[in-house]
Amino acid sequence: MLETFLTMISFRLLPVASVITLATLSVEPTLSSTSSLMRVPRVNFTNLDFSHIMWGSQDIEYLGPQDSIRRVAEVAAAEGELLSIPAPNANSSWQVNFHGPALSCNAVNDSLRSDIAQNILQTSKGQMGIGYAYIAWTPTSNSSVPFYQNGSDSYVLKANPGGSFSEVRTAPLSLFVGAFPTIATQHPVCSYVLPGNECSPAPCNSTTCLLEKSTILQCSLYNTSYNTNFTYVNGEQTVNISLGGVLNSIPYLGGLLYSWTGPTIATSPNMFSSLETFAYQSVMESFNRLLVGSISYSFLGTADSLSGVYQTAPNTSVLSTALSETPELSFLNGNGSTSVPNTQSLSDAIEHMFQNITVSLMSLSQLQPDYSSPYAPSDTNVTIIENRNTYAYSRAILWITYGIAIFLTLLSVLLGMLANRANHGSYSSTFSTIMRTTRNATLSSEIRLADCSGKDPLPEYVSDATISFLNPGKFNIEAVKELPKGSRESEDHHDASSQLLRENNNEAVGDLRGESRRSEDGPETPRQRSHRDSIGAANEVSDEPRQREVSPEAPSRPSHENDETNDT
């Protein structure tokens, strides 16, 4: 039963496939890209806005970085990532290549490592319980150790980030960073019962102990080529940075000599390189200000008590940067941990942070190139990506849907052919088909025996025929329903009798016509006269019901009159 129902539904739904559009076309969001030449954020390292400059009569003196450069360095170092750089479109990408400063950090050699440890131990000797756990400094032209002696017993850290001392004007631009985890776990012991209330030597009072698990790096500034790829997706910034090789190292430059030629400064071949060095120095000094300094452990107590506590005494901003999360500096956070898994090493983190600061300078409008200058860079090819709605065509859905419709159509045609063959023709529910298969109507044309089954097509002689109903008016469907059952049965019997009489009458008329033709040849015989009289009596009887049908309201004659007529 269910299979029959489903089959019927399938065939009934076949016309739907030609009326309702199939889901072969769907709207899908796609990305379309267009490229055009545009101006994008850059950095002009020959710009004087990098540095504070003092102009002399014949020279330019470097004084330090601009405040805007220092702010960019502080924010980028604290966040550990690039600053937001304005893009020409929320969904765009481009590539920029330029020369810029970079740092290369490497571990110092063993000889310098030992000299640095001896310098640190000599500086902390005799001090009231001080041990250095972190030190960052800038070198001089003739020394790379962190402390220099200022007088007989006083030592000073080389903590000037710009190296503005007179003895460092010829020193290369570099930075030393040292981390000594053993100082955080082994403190010097102080005893106020000792002569002079001095502290005893610290437990870690040798270079071997001090250098255990220590890290000492030298980071040098150099000029390199930056290859940057900017990608913005819905305003979210992604920048991939790759560096080329070392083009040249950057020495310290304290000033620049120049000469006047009329109203302007003469352009010398080394003018642009000198301005570029000023810019590189400004970035380096801004970065050094964050790292240079020290973190020491000091003993706090009173002169009449042996009790006291140790606390850190930082005079550096390194703990406010992302470098404090590196494995080498994690012990400075106070948790005693000396390793953090899945993080960059200190050397890689310093190099990466300096790259972020350099590229983040593109966010400053005052450092953009002067496009009115003949030395201005050309426009950059920018690819803008837009979201658009497109129509996607599905060939599989089309073939599956129409394939099912075609299959069901062919199946229905095949079943129809089989049914046509089994029934020896096709049949329809038209009015003519119904009339040909019934016996309650009379056609003006006699239906041939071959056409009585009602199969298509309709014969032409039947289409031109007229239909006449027996007993029109009274014996229609509504009248038959209103008649009593007995009356309908008597009327049906009477109709059958009348039809039989008419058939006999027709036969008699045919015989009479034959006799008439024969009478023309001779006189009427007694047999012919008797046959003619019987035909007349039959016609009177057959015409009586028609009179009643035509005038149903006329009163019927008594039954004895019928009897007399029949007797006659």
pLDDT tens figures, 106-158 = 999 999 999 998 888 888 774 555 778 899 999 887 788 888 877 666 677 87
Cα separation, 45 vs 358, in Å, equals 10
At residue 91, the pLDDT reads 92
pLDDT digits (tens, 9 = 90+) for 471-488: 444 434 444 444 455 444
Residue 559 vs residue 522, higher pLDDT: 522
Q: Is the pLDDT of residue 67 over 90?
A: yes
The b/e string for 494-511 (b: 16+ C-beta within 10 A; e otherwise) is eeeebeebeeebeebeee
pLDDT at 44 over 80: yes
What pLDDT sits at residue 567?
Answer: 40
Higher pLDDT, 193 or 73: 73
Per-residue pLDDT, 492 = 52
Question: Are β-strands 467-468 and 442-443 bridged in parallel, bridged antiparallel, or unpaired?
Answer: antiparallel
Average pLDDT, whole number, for the chain? Answer: 74
Rounded percentage of the chain residues whose pLDDT exceeds 90: 27
Dihedral over Cα of 312, 317, 321, 326: its sign = negative
pLDDT at 502: 55
Alpha-carbon distances, residue 461 vs 441, 444, 465 (angstroms): 17, 10, 6
* Residues in a beta bridge with 100: 224
Q: What integer pLDDT is reported at residue 331 of this predicted model?
A: 85
Q: What is the pLDDT of residues 458-474, one digit of tens each?
A: 888 888 888 775 544 44
pLDDT in tens, 198-210: 454 455 666 777 7
CA torsion sign, 462 to 464 to 470 to 472? positive
Residue 254: its pLDDT value, please?
80
Report percent pLDDT > 70 for the chain. 62
405-439, pLDDT tens digit by residue? 888 888 888 888 888 888 888 777 787 777 776 65
pLDDT at 552 over 50: no
Q: Which one of 168-172, 213-217, 496-500 scores highest in mean pLDDT?
A: 213-217
- Secondary structure string (H, E, C) spanning 479-538: HHHHCCHHHHHHHHHHHHHHHHHHHHHHHHHHHHHHHHHHHCCCCCCHHHHHHHHHHHHH
CA separation for the pair 113, 42 (Å, rounded): 40
Q: How far apart are the first and last CA of the chain?
A: 68
3-state secondary structure 310-325: EEEEECCCHHHCHHHH
Q: Is the pLDDT of residue 546 over 50?
A: no
Prediction pTM value: 0.63
Banded pLDDT at 230 (limits 50, 70, 90): very high
Please state the rounded mean pLDDT for residues 399-405.
82
Assign residue 197 a region: left if phi > 0, alpha if psi is -120 to 50, beta otherwise? left
Q: Which residues contact 71 (CB under 8 A, 6 or more apart)?
A: none
Q: Which of 187, 191, 214 is nearest to 202 (CA)?
A: 187
Which residue in this structure is represented by tokens 């402390």?
Answer: 147
**Which residue do the tokens 């910034």 mark?**
237
pLDDT by residue (tens digit) across 183-200?
A: 766 655 444 444 444 454
Query: What is the per-residue pLDDT for 66?
Result: 93
Q: For every residue of 172-238, which 3-state class applies, written as one string?
A: ECEEEEEECHHHHCCCCCECCCCHHHCECCCCCCCHHHHCCCCEEEEEEEEEEEEEEEEEEECCEEE
Q: How far is CA 305 from CA 197, 300, 343, in A?
A: 11, 10, 44
Average pLDDT, integer, range 54-60:
77
pLDDT recorded at residue 166: 39
* Residue 488: per-residue pLDDT: 47
pLDDT of residue 268: 55
Residue-wise pLDDT for 338-390, tens only, equals 444 557 899 999 999 999 999 999 999 999 998 888 888 899 999 998 888 88
Of the listed ranges 54-58, 241-245, 413-417, the one predicted with least confidence: 54-58
Q: Please tell me the predicted confidence (pLDDT) of residue 111.
A: 92
pLDDT digit string, tens, across residues 490-535: 445 445 445 544 555 555 445 545 554 554 455 555 545 554 555 4
